[in-house]
A and B are shown apart, each in its own frame.
Chain A
Amino acid sequence: MMTRHMITAGAALFLLTVLFTSCSTLPAIRSLDAAGTQAAAERCRRPFLDAPHRFVHAIEAGIPERAMGTVLGITLFDPPSGIVRSAILTLEGFVLFDARYDKGVEVYRAVPPFDAPRFGENMIADIRLIFLAPQGRLLLAGTLENGAIACRYEDPRGQTVDVIVRRDDAWEIGTYGNHNEPLRRVEAFSVNNRIPEAVALTGFLTVDYKLRMTLISAEPVSPEDVKKP
């Protein structure tokens, strides 16, 4: 027969377990000498193009381990200014979502379910995470145990952003909250001339979600192309 004391102890153990597992530890980054740190920091910029580009992707979107739907995504971004333009279309060409970010998100069109509260902000945050170099302070640059180059940033909101670049140029980005809980993970595969053939993003927000983006086209554009409304 369980006593009240045993139930309390059990509940405390459960809470401790939950707390322990939710406060994950960040990947261990080994420090390098000054020259190595400088080189690692530079290599961590490699996933992020310096000039404005337009990307078109086929995007499989859904909840992990569940059926996914496929849409087309058009993304324009200008790294120097941080301006982003994004449109999502059905395969038949119907525009479901169209928005622009320039210090704030302006949604031009949003058809359900793309009109959900904060969808535009989260969508733009995902795009900025994938295509633009992390903002904020570089905390650490070094290597992981497997030899990949890794850099850790603290973004202006206090979140941790890890950028990992492997020898074959494939890369990974992880973002973590104040308790090191994972928020988003981005993986890039088959990278040619800094442009990945596929990108997978997993979000661990209120509802977990997954995007798999397969490249259709990538081309440089002028800053004006991105800036025009």
Chain B
Amino acid sequence: MTTIWLRHKRGVFLAAMLLLCFPMPGRAASWEEVQKEAAKITSINARFTQSKHMNILARPLVSQGRFYFQAPDSVRWEYTSPVKSILLMNRGEIKRYTLGSRGLVEDATGSLQSMQVVLREISQWSRGRFTKNEHFSATLKWGKEPKIILAPKEKGMAKMISRIVISLSSDRPGVLESVAIFENEGNHTLFAFTDVAINVPLDESLFRKP
């Protein structure tokens, strides 16, 4: 039971990471507007830089890659460095491929069970439904640097993720600037985005083939 719960939390971490797939309106003033703007997004193609900050690292551990999203729930989350890895989500099916000593092989360790949770979270977030999330309570902070702050509702979750801060572009509605996932003191992961293209046609094979 504990294992399932912790897998669940790990899944929520991944889901939080995949928040990046769903741009938020930069100038919305209410959750209704967030949902309205989210509904306009049909696809995303962007580069990302993931910076892991830990007190045992002098500099952040940087990973880079690209992600693609096609509404309603197809995702290609591709790391190009330091380890090549591709996560594919397409029509409810999830696969991960990682480049290692045996070439690019499909992950068969069972860790993808947690991704079932991710899909459920994504289906909510993709509709801008932050306020109905069972794990996090959401706060909108609008101003020069608009933010959505997600705080865990349960103590168990709070031990793993203390908060998630989503920074929105102030001058480009519908574009995320970064997502920071805070695990505990001195330990957080920052995802930053560049070259974000919204609502451009994407090849369907991107979500099926590594």
Contact = CB atoms under 8 A, between A and B. Distances in A.
Interface of A: 54, 56, 58, 60, 62, 67-70, 72, 74, 76, 85, 87, 89-96, 109, 111-113, 198, 212, 214, 216, 219, 221, 225, 228
Contacts of B10: 90, 94, 96, 111
Given A70-B85, A70-B100, A92-B189, A112 B7 contact: yes
Contacts of B111: 69
A112 B2 contact: yes
A62 B111 CA distance: 13
Interface residues of B, number: 38
B181 A93 contact: yes
Contact of B13 (A56, A62, A92, A112): A92
A60 B3 contact: no
Interface of B: prevailing SS: mixed
Contacts, number: 92
A171 B102 CA distance: 22
B3 A94 contact: no
B101 A60 contact: yes
B85 A91 contact: yes
B83 A91 contact: yes
B200 interface: no
Main secondary structure of the interface of A (DSSP, over half): strand
A153 B189 CA distance: 43
Interface of B: 2-3, 6-7, 9-10, 13-14, 17, 50, 52, 54-58, 61, 63, 79, 82-83, 85, 98, 100-102, 105-109, 111, 160, 181, 183-184, 187, 189
B56 to A, nearest CB: 6
Given A92-B50, A95-B183, A112-B2, A70 B58 contact: no
Contacts of A58: 82-83, 100
